Amino acid sequence: MNVYNLIKKEINGRKSYAVNLTKRLIRIPTVNPPGEGYGKITALLEKELKKIGLTTKRVVTPRTVLKKYNIDDRLPRVNLIADWQRGRKRTLHINGHYDVVPVTGDWKVSPFKGLLRNGKLYGRGAEDMKGTITSMILAVSTLKRLDMLPEVNVQLSFTPDEEIGGMTGFGWLVKEDKIRADYGLSEGYTGKCISCGNKGIMWARIECRGKSAHASVPYKGVNSFDAMIEAANALKKLRVRIKKRKTAFKMKNDRDRFPSMVLGGELEGDNKVNMVPSRVSFSIDRRLIPEENLSSAKREIEDVLKSCSKKSGHKFKMRILAQDPAVAVNPNAMICRAAGSAVKKVFKSTPKLLLMPGGTDMRYLVKKGIPSVGYSARGGENWHSDNEFIYIKSILDTAKVYAMTVMNLK
């Protein structure tokens, strides 16, 4: 029996293990914000990793780092790292985040029970990304049980805070050189699609200043809300211009190949109905294609605000909240070929290497020059939404892709 058939048979025979582990992960609410349950879930994961013979260590993000990003330092950020040391020159690093977004909306099932129904496992974080964490552990466990010896060392990490940017989780680990990696593998696309990068991101806040006055005599004040409308309309015209650009990279949805800019995700202002508002602010979420850069994107917005200020006399202030450049990996890189060959073996279909519109923690490795790809188990694509679920079959198939990717690397 060949390598893949042995892996396939072993993983298919461990369906109950996959269901049970994913249920246990879902039943630990690791909601972020605020960042609860981190110690409990890393204890569970560490126990599983030790069972399969990996060496583990827990690394807590320093409180000074949490304070830098205005995160409550009373809730520890626990990073778990596990090693399968093979004495090889190169190392594959596999990362998963265990935090989940809060429960909102209209759930038909309990979000933290792990209900199994018709081959689907429901729960907050089932698809993003506790089901995929199970796939990662199942893949490595399978290779160990079959005494299959890869040509690379394998290191895994399970980290917090991806849902708020990752700077205090995996991003911090990479920055502090606590990760060993020549290749990277994290969450991403699913099925026959593999992510080989993602768009860049720039979050900013625009503040419009005016002068307060009683609403009965508005001529005595300067209405900052009017200023916000002027700025927003000018930025909408900029949005039309930037949407004429198109990346050469392929994406799952052709509509994602253009830059984007969302205005007003967050709005703040004065809180009294009978006064002229003295201050209003709104957010910008700008997504960049690889052909763009952060400095140019920032300058475009600043130029619009300067022009708007000159015409109207209103004052505008722009503050960058977060920014990351677009990242892209050469489709001919070894990790791309290894993952592509694995997907082709499992799904009997030609793989597609695509750019993602959203960002994942994978970008921290790519920015450091470490070629990395993203691949995940599939659900209903309703992560961050109501009634999130994961297909059990996809957990198993994704474990096969991970296991074969490990075996394909040199």
pLDDT(1) > 80: no
What single string gives the DSSP state of each residue in 52-93? TT-EEEEEEPPHHHHHHTT--TTS--EEEEEEE----S-EEE
Q: Does domain 200-324 have CATH number 3.20.20.100?
A: no
Q: Is the alpha carbon torsion for 50, 52, 53, 58 positive or negative?
A: negative
pLDDT(220) > 90: yes
Check residue 382 and give its pLDDT. Answer: 79
Residue 204, strand partner residues: 284, 320
Distance of CA 217 to the CA centre of its chain: 49
The CB-side HSE value for 225 (13 A sphere, CA atoms) comes to 14
The CB-side HSE value for 368 (13 A sphere, CA atoms) comes to 22
Q: Tell me the pLDDT tens digit for each residue of 273-308.
A: 999 999 999 999 999 999 999 999 999 999 999 999
pLDDT(120) > 90: yes
Residue 381: which pLDDT band, with cuts at 50, 70 and 90?
confident
pLDDT(271) > 90: no
Check residue 312 and give its pLDDT. Answer: 85
What share of the chain in percent tops pLDDT 90?
Answer: 94
Instruction: Compute the mean pLDDT over every residue in the chain, rounded to the nearest whole number.
Output: 96
What single string gives the DSSP state of each residue in 374-386? EE---B-S-TTST
Fold for the domain defined by 3-198+326-408: Aminopeptidase (3.40.630)
What stretch(es) of the chain map to CATH 3.40.630.10? 3-198+326-408
The answer to whether 324 touches 167, Cβ cutoff 8 Å, is: no
How close are the terminal C-alpha atoms of the chain, in Å?
Answer: 22
Q: Tell me the pLDDT tens digit for each residue of 138-173.
A: 999 999 999 999 999 999 999 999 999 999 999 999
What stretch(es) of the chain map to CATH 3.30.70.360? 200-324
Rg, Å, the chain Cα set: 23
Check residue 98 and give its pLDDT. Answer: 98
pLDDT(216) > 90: yes
34 upstream amide cis, omega within 30 of 0: yes
pLDDT(401) > 80: yes
Distance CA 56, CA 59 (A): 10
Check residue 257 and give its pLDDT. Answer: 97
Check residue 380 and give its pLDDT. Answer: 86
Residue 402: which pLDDT band, with cuts at 50, 70 and 90?
very high
What share of the chain in percent tops pLDDT 70?
Answer: 100
Alpha helices of 348-391 — where are they, by DSSP H? 362-367
* The length of the chain, given as a count of residues: 410
Global pTM reads 0.92
Residue 311: which pLDDT band, with cuts at 50, 70 and 90?
confident
Q: Which of 6-10, 66-70, 259-263, 379-383 has the lowest mean pLDDT?
A: 379-383
pLDDT(104) > 90: no
